[in-house]
């Protein structure tokens, strides 16, 4: 449950939704109708049996004629939700592995199969930062499953999604990756190597400029950012969260325009990614405000 501690009591997101609904004189069914969900879903939120997705928080606030910040605060003190393993994990890594292996075998995706085994070994023992014991491998697995769900079945793209962090975070050598040079080039583009002689802003500009030249790297970076923003609110202080939102608008969103203009065959996937990414950005900005570059 999303617990929000004040000086005199402990509030939850569910209790705040219920309280605001009662203030407006709405039934659970009426709120459910406004949100196009079942009344059972609203009931479960209010009992804190489940929590709504973070990306829906702005929509819930609008239906209740309030703000996301108000729903995530008690009368005494605002608070940022504390990490929840269930939210951070989202999907079980063992099930995702089984699913990806089965799809790759059925589609004849040999590089994806090799990348899956390599990524699991490379990330073994690593945990997601601020994610209460969630194995790091859950991240590349989720990114790859997301690509499949968007209808992106290309072997090299899926292999790059699985391997996108193994060089930067695991110290793996590019030449050791059991994949084609095309996949290695994409992983190379996705690997951030800041030059200490330059500022952070200069390094980031150079990184995204190089990344934008690689079709596979563009797609993987966008899916990577969707996954990271989906989980980031529970583990970062507000200043770093605000910076992540600003960087996404400044550097990551332009990759979507690049996909649609340079690689029109990816327009459908770009539309869905834009919908997801912008929904997350709008919700996070409602929580922490927007910082001008």
Q: Are 233 and 88 in contact (CB under 8 A)?
A: no
**Spatial separation of the C-alpha atoms in residues 46 and 29, rounded to whole Å:** 13
- Banded pLDDT at 56 (limits 50, 70, 90): confident
Helix (H) or strand (E) holding 117: helix 110-122
Reading the block at residue 139, the tokens are 């991240």
For residue 287, which of 142, 109, 120, 79 has the smallest C-alpha distance?
79
Reading the block at residue 63, the tokens are 């239906």
**Mean pLDDT for the stretch of residues 32-54:** 85
Considering 23, 76, 168, 202, which one is annotated as catalytic?
Answer: 168
171 DSSP assignment: -
- Banded pLDDT at 11 (limits 50, 70, 90): low
Per-residue pLDDT tens digits for 13-23: 888 899 889 88
Residue 155, Cα to own-chain centre: how many angstroms? Answer: 22
pTM exceeding the 0.85 threshold for the entire prediction: no
CATH 1.10.260.40 range(s) for the chain read 3-82
Cα–Cα distances (Å) from 285 to 3, 18, 182, in that order, read: 20, 24, 37
Reading the block at residue 51, the tokens are 């929590």
- Banded pLDDT at 292 (limits 50, 70, 90): low
Per-residue pLDDT tens digits for 94-146: 899 999 999 999 999 999 999 999 999 999 999 887 666 789 999 999 999 99
- Banded pLDDT at 285 (limits 50, 70, 90): confident
248 DSSP assignment: I
* Model pLDDT, residue 230: 85
Cα–Cα distances (Å) from 275 to 53, 207, 222, 229, 256, in that order, read: 15, 24, 12, 13, 11
**Spatial separation of the C-alpha atoms in residues 96 and 2, rounded to whole Å:** 26
Our CA dihedral for 127, 140, 92, 268, rounded to 10 degrees, sits at 150
Clarify whether 59 is annotated catalytic: no
Clarify whether 168 is annotated catalytic: yes
The reply to whether CATH 3.40.30.10 applies to domain 87-288 is: no
In sequence order, what are the residues at sequence separation of 6 or more whose Cβ sits closer than 8 angstroms to the Cβ of residue 17?
Answer: 42, 45, 46, 60, 64, 71
Helix (H) or strand (E) holding 12: strand 10-12
- Banded pLDDT at 83 (limits 50, 70, 90): very low
Among the residue ranges 6-20, 38-52, 145-159, the one predicted with the least confidence is: 6-20
Average per-residue pLDDT for the chain: 86
For residue 2, which of 81, 101, 105 has the smallest C-alpha distance?
81
* Model pLDDT, residue 84: 46
Considering 169, 185, 188, 291, which one is annotated as catalytic?
Answer: 169
CATH of 3-82, one of 3.30.70.580, 3.50.50.60, 1.10.260.40, 1.20.1440.120: 1.10.260.40
**Spatial separation of the C-alpha atoms in residues 293 and 291, rounded to whole Å:** 6
3 state DSSP class of 237: coil
CATH 1.10.3210.10 range(s) for the chain read 87-288
């Amino acid at each position: 449950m999303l617990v929000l501690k004040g000086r005199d009591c402990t509030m939850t997101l569910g209790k705040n939704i219920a309280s605001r609904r009662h203030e407006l004189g709405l039934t659970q069914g009426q709120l459910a109708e406004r949100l196009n969900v079942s009344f059972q879903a609203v009931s479960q939120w209010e009992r804190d049996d489940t929590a709504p997705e973070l990306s829906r928080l702005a929509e819930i606030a609008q239906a209740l004629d309030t703000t996301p910040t108000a729903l995530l605060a008690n009368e005494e003190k605002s608070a940022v939700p504390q990490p929840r393993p269930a939210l951070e994990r989202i999907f079980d890594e063992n099930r995702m592995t089984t699913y990806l292996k089965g799809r790759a075998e059925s589609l004849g995706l040999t590089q994806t199969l090799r990348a899956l085994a390599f990524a699991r070994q490379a990330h073994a023992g690593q945990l997601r930062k601020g994610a209460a014991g969630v194995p790091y491998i859950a991240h590349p697995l989720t990114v790859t499953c997301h690509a499949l769900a968007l209808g992106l079945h290309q072997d090299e793209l899926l292999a790059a999604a699985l391997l996108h962090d193994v060089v930067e975070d695991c110290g793996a050598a590019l030449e050791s990756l059991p994949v084609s040079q095309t996949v290695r080039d994409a992983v190379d583009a996705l690997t951030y190597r800041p030059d200490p002689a330059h500022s952070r802003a200069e390094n980031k500009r150079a990184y995204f400029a190089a990344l934008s030249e690689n079709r596979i790297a563009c797609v993987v970076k966008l899916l990577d950012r969707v996954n990271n923003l989906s989980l980031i609110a529970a583990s970062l202080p507000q200043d770093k969260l605000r910076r992540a939102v600003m960087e996404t608008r400044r550097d990551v969103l332009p990759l979507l325009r690049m996909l649609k203009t340079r690689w029109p065959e990816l327009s459908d996937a770009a539309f869905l990614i834009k919908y997801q990414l912008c929904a997350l950005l709008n919700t996070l900005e409602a929580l922490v405000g927007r910082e001008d570059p």
